[in-house]
Chains A and B, each alone.
Chain A
């Protein structure tokens, strides 16, 4: 299972071509046919709507007139829009940073414990990721409730004033990031744990003999060996976090005063609740450039690994 992750042997294309021409042609058709449902699904429900949303973003509110870039101009003039941009970026970057950091350290700790006990720890620590996000966010919402917060009750016991977890803009932003980190760190942990296991033990022993301390071993051996996996997971998580909807929607619905809105929730508010579909589409489209840039980096990373493998 995890061992399978180790090698991916690539067969040079020439081996197959020695077969009959007819056979190859048949294979092509069959192969294409087998991928057809996949292609149809993606084309119809992902690619086409993505382009359609670009078209929608060029219409007026009642969707009867073509206004070109009018919606975008309108958005650029609104202070709230720039606030949402800023918030989405801060949210994504800080959440991913902490997730990666915590995931890395926890993976390290689990790796240090004897192998027999690791399964138990892995099991416990993965729980946040397994529970549906919407559900665990409701749990956090209850923990942060202004009147009944269990955290504030504990703080009260040690004489600290109740914290407006969702009421004050700074605390609200903190809470949203906290829940996202809570939810996503296990994913990083499990990835890094697998990668840690694939670092050969001899390297560490050799370093120890050469007199390397803990930090040096981390910096010169562990991190470089894990560079690829770190890059992939960080990029992947950036994309997913950037497009996050559930947590913000349930925890704060974008408040207070729009200060925790991210693109997805604001698009929902404007597009579906505000009955202005073109504007909602326009807002969502702003995610594309960021996603595009990340995609390019991921592609490069993937190609690089494929060549190295």
Chain B
């Protein structure tokens, strides 16, 4: 008797609370004709950029009479990766989910094909960049739509005055807004980078380039590996880490590390930003987010920043890229609405709005979208982000390419390359020991 009274009480309470919660929960609007759509976007750090995207979505939603729920999910702490993994496991979640780099291909069999709308988009916007195609197509068919918001590269951004004073090379002269001084630019390779790092370290303004486990570190280290021709795993899935190129690149890192601050190994995505904004460093590798914060918090530093091309390596000039994609989960109940929205967001006019709202941070994937005025106009100093989108002979590099996607995704999230560097520098191991460790790790990634 006691038990039934107890459980009835509990049941009533829970139901009452549940009902109250449903009524009180935000985002619950009246029923709309064409259904509901829930979206998980990457949380843009630029204040206002999210709002522009929300407005773009809402103007579509009003026309189509769809009930929208938008979540902005940060990449800090790998939150967006965790969300993607959780939704993939639970086979439920948002309808549209934004995914970085390797995720679309890694989750390809759970995604809805978007080849049909991509054909329309490409017809209007021009071809998509090679890197974007590489990561967005599974067996020749698009499984993800290149996203504008969040797609970035991480070129060097340097303090002009410090470089002029201590390195004796002016980035604004080599990479002026509007063009490139080929002669001066040719000199800018990884050896010069090393020399510059040493000079700035001696002058008390070391480079703040991360060797941690988050994307900022993994992306730029991946570009260095690519420019030396060092591949961890080749396209066929063979482990090719034990190579001369790998030894070369690790050797280069061993020379670099003494000139970096000692905590670069624990850097997360925000650490290099803070380093620049606090005025402590002469160079970091980052999209314009750090400069934008400096505009607000330390204008003296901001006026002195210049974004320019990544140094050249033996095998080419690779710019660390991080493309984002909008994907539609296979379990989504409202795929047609999702596709319609993504078409709307991929219009050139929408892309231009997003680029402007992000102060030029976002890099679109399409030929016809690479020449917006934003990159020429934003200041101070004027033209600082002109060379931020990769121009000329720069190749957008994807860390861990050309490994098969499922393996590449793990190399990326587990930060194998930066860990290799850490092991043979801070960890005190030899280069061969670090390579042997990596080979062992890579074998583990082959698990099915």
B437 touches A253 (CB 8 A): no
Q: In the complex the two chains form, what is the Cα distance from A275 to B290 in whole Å? A: 32
Least CB separation from B85: chain A residue = A275
Least CB separation from B279: chain A residue = A147
Contact residues in B for A74 (Cβ distance below 8 Å): 444, 447
Contact residues in B for A37 (Cβ distance below 8 Å): 3, 6-7, 10
Query: B278's contact among A34, A148, A274, A277, by CB below 8 Å, is which?
Result: A148
B447 touches A276 (CB 8 A): yes
B89 touches A274 (CB 8 A): no
B448 touches A256 (CB 8 A): no
**Which residues of B from 391 to 406 have beta carbons under 8 Å from A?**
none
Please judge, given known A-B contacts A78-B444, A164-B266, A274-B414, whether A146 and B261 are in contact too, CB under 8 Å: yes
Least CB separation from B421: chain A residue = A257
Least CB separation from A168: chain B residue = B262
A169 touches B426 (CB 8 A): yes
Q: Indicate if B129 sits at the interface (CB-CB under 8 A).
A: no
Instruction: Determine the main DSSP class of A at the interface with B.
Output: loop
Q: Indicate if B326 sits at the interface (CB-CB under 8 A).
A: no
Query: B274's contact among A147, A252, A253, by CB below 8 Å, is which?
Result: A147
B427 touches A146 (CB 8 A): no
**Which residues of A from 240 to 276 have beta carbons under 8 Å from B?**
252-253, 255-258, 272-276
Q: In the complex the two chains form, what is the Cα distance from A78 to B440 in whole Å? A: 8
Least distance between B338 CB and chain A CB atoms (Å): 23
Q: Bits for B62-87, please: 1 = Cβ < 8 Å to A, else 0.
A: 00000000000000011001100110
Q: Indicate if A306 sits at the interface (CB-CB under 8 A).
A: no
A277 touches B89 (CB 8 A): yes
A147 touches B271 (CB 8 A): yes
**Which residues of A from 124 to 170 have beta carbons under 8 Å from B?**
145-148, 164-169
Q: In the complex the two chains form, what is the Cα distance from A30 to B278 in whole Å? A: 68
Least distance between B290 CB and chain A CB atoms (Å): 11
Q: Indicate if A61 sits at the interface (CB-CB under 8 A).
A: yes
A273 touches B444 (CB 8 A): no
Q: Indicate if A231 sits at the interface (CB-CB under 8 A).
A: no
Q: Bits for B47-64, please: 1 = Cβ < 8 Å to A, else 0.
A: 000000000000000000
Least distance between A276 CB and chain B CB atoms (Å): 7
Query: B265's contact among A79, A256, A273, A274, by CB below 8 Å, is which?
Result: A256
Q: Indicate if A36 sits at the interface (CB-CB under 8 A).
A: yes
Contact residues in B for A274 (Cβ distance below 8 Å): 85, 410, 413-414
Q: Indicate if B275 sits at the interface (CB-CB under 8 A).
A: yes
Least CB separation from B423: chain A residue = A257
Q: Indicate if B419 sits at the interface (CB-CB under 8 A).
A: yes
Q: In the complex the two chains form, what is the Cα distance from A129 to B86 in whole Å? A: 31
Least distance between B301 CB and chain A CB atoms (Å): 13
B422 touches A273 (CB 8 A): no
Contact residues in B for A169 (Cβ distance below 8 Å): 426-427
Contact residues in B for A256 (Cβ distance below 8 Å): 212-213, 265-266, 422, 426
Contact residues in A for B264 (Cβ distance below 8 Å): 167
Q: Indicate if A33 sits at the interface (CB-CB under 8 A).
A: yes
Q: In the complex the two chains form, what is the Cα distance from A273 to B85 in whole Å? A: 6
Q: Indicate if B12 sits at the interface (CB-CB under 8 A).
A: no
Least distance between A64 CB and chain B CB atoms (Å): 9
Contact residues in A for B275 (Cβ distance below 8 Å): 146-147
A258 touches B419 (CB 8 A): yes
Q: Bits for A66-82, please: 1 = Cβ < 8 Å to B, else 0.
A: 00000000100011100
**Which residues of B from 314 to 363 have beta carbons under 8 Å from A?**
none
Least distance between A303 CB and chain B CB atoms (Å): 30
Q: Bits for A175-218, please: 1 = Cβ < 8 Å to B, else 0.
A: 00000000000000000000000000000000000000000000
Q: Indicate if A172 sits at the interface (CB-CB under 8 A).
A: yes
Q: Indicate if B263 sits at the interface (CB-CB under 8 A).
A: yes
A255 touches B212 (CB 8 A): yes
Q: Indicate if B88 sits at the interface (CB-CB under 8 A).
A: yes
Q: Indicate if A87 sits at the interface (CB-CB under 8 A).
A: no
Q: In the complex the two chains form, what is the Cα distance from A80 to B440 in whole Å? A: 10
Least CB separation from A34: chain B residue = B2
B265 touches A257 (CB 8 A): yes
Least distance between B403 CB and chain A CB atoms (Å): 16
Least CB separation from A278: chain B residue = B447
Please judge, given known A-B contacts A166-B266, A167-B266, A256-B426, whether A272 and B82 are in contact too, CB under 8 Å: yes
Please judge, given known A-B contacts A166-B263, A167-B266, A274-B413, whether A257 and B274 are in contact too, CB under 8 Å: no
Contact residues in B for A147 (Cβ distance below 8 Å): 271, 274-275, 278, 280
Query: A272's contact among B10, B86, B414, B427, by CB below 8 Å, is which?
Result: B86
Least distance between A32 CB and chain B CB atoms (Å): 9
B266 touches A146 (CB 8 A): yes
Contact residues in B for A258 (Cβ distance below 8 Å): 419
**Which residues of B from 249 to 285 have beta carbons under 8 Å from A?**
261-268, 271, 274-275, 278, 280
B82 touches A273 (CB 8 A): yes
Least CB separation from A166: chain B residue = B266
Least distance between B332 CB and chain A CB atoms (Å): 20
B3 touches A33 (CB 8 A): yes
Q: Indicate if A53 sits at the interface (CB-CB under 8 A).
A: no
Least distance between B411 CB and chain A CB atoms (Å): 12
Q: In the complex the two chains form, what is the Cα distance from A191 to B268 in whole Å? A: 39
Q: In the complex the two chains form, what is the Cα distance from A275 to B422 in whole Å? A: 25
Q: In the complex the two chains form, what is the Cα distance from A255 to B414 in whole Å? A: 11
Least distance between A15 CB and chain B CB atoms (Å): 23
What are 7 of the A-B contact pairs (CB < 8 Å)?
A33-B3, A167-B261, A172-B266, A272-B82, A272-B89, A273-B413, A276-B447
Q: A74-B444, A148-B274, A166-B266 are in contact. List 4 more A-B contacts (CB 8 A).
A: A60-B447, A257-B213, A257-B422, A272-B85
Nearest 9 pairs between A and B by C-beta? A167-B263, A33-B3, A164-B263, A167-B266, A256-B265, A147-B274, A146-B263, A164-B262, A166-B266
